[in-house]
Amino acid sequence: MDIDKKLGLFLGSAIGDALGAPLEFQKAREPEDYLTRYSTGGPHNVSLGEWTDDTSMTLALASSLIEKKEFDADDIMKKFYQWFKEGKFCTRSKCFDIGNTVYDALSSYSESIKTNKLHQPYRGRITENTSGNGALMRMAPVVVVSKDRDEAIRLALQQTLLTHGSQLCVQYSVMFAEELFLGKAIPKYSTYKLPDNIRREDVMSGGFVKETYEAAWWAFSTTNNFEDCVIKAVNRGHDADTTGALAGMIAGRFYGLSGIPDYFKNNLMMYDEIYEYALKLSDTNVKTF
């Protein structure tokens, strides 16, 4: 994958997150009413270009891969916990947005350290009702760092199981990582996509892993540039920031950083730091076993 595509994937994720953040938990908007630029407000009262947990967890994971040059599950969980408890990898001094499944995983991880009981970092629950999109939303680093398709799949699986252990989460993570690595939708996964001619109001965009994956691919396959793709994705509302992050990864990977309009780059909070993470990650080789 060339560097423009790697940077596009990584930055695209943060841009989609920031664009969607003010629309989180809101109902979907119609095209004449679309939000097309960064805005303020929403449930976390975000500032212009401010991103949320999707990007914080992405940066925590990226930081560990760069530092350790391998998939160090314990170190990644420690960094996730630093974000959760200390506000590291965050736009504010403390974490302000966390999904239930991630919350449970990080809480049980910290508890296991305190009590020294059954200490292991893979904390994803396996019940199907925990099939949220929290592992998909932080997929960018493992794809950017991977040298081949198998490595992307292996790392996607590992990073998912830290907090999400359901069969559906694993399945969607594998599909998404493989497709992001190749830079296109893979025909064998076409039954997991929505038809292009589906009515817009039938595209769901909640926190369920299936909905986020479907909505992001629908936004990509029914548009022909980065900007239109992320705008279409986030305006489905509900889990708008995460749908935006996924759509941003797909479109950023496809159109490259050079295909992202300057407005979205110049006004993204901490753009330079995120760019630096992406650049270092592109240059990192992780150990294989």
**Contact positions vs Mg ion (CB under 5 A):** 52-54, 97, 241
What minimum distance in Å lies between the beta carbon of 249 and Mg ion? Answer: 14
What minimum distance in Å lies between the beta carbon of 245 and Mg ion? Answer: 7
Of 47 and 225, nearer to Mg ion (C-beta) is: 47
Of 54 and 178, nearer to Mg ion (C-beta) is: 54
Distances (CA, A) of 190 to 175, 179, 196, 229: 10, 11, 11, 19
What minimum distance in Å lies between the beta carbon of 274 and Mg ion? Answer: 15
Backbone angle region of 238, left / alpha / beta, with phi > 0 → left and psi within -120 to 50 → alpha: left
- The total number of residues shown for the chain amounts to 289
Q: How far apart are CA 90 and CA 72, in angstroms?
A: 21
Q: How far apart are CA 271 and CA 170, in angstroms?
A: 30
Of 53 and 214, nearer to Mg ion (C-beta) is: 53
Q: Which amino acid is at 282?
A: S
Q: Which amino acid is at 32?
A: E
Of 97 and 214, nearer to Mg ion (C-beta) is: 97
What minimum distance in Å lies between the beta carbon of 134 and Mg ion? Answer: 9
Q: Could you write out the three-class secondary structure of 81-105?
A: HHHHHHCCCCCCCCCCCCCHHHHHH
User: Are 281 and 10 spatial neighbours (Cβ–Cβ below 8 Å)?
Assistant: yes
Task: State the residue number with the nearest CB to Mg ion.
Answer: 52
Of 53 and 227, nearer to Mg ion (C-beta) is: 53
What minimum distance in Å lies between the beta carbon of 99 and Mg ion? Answer: 8
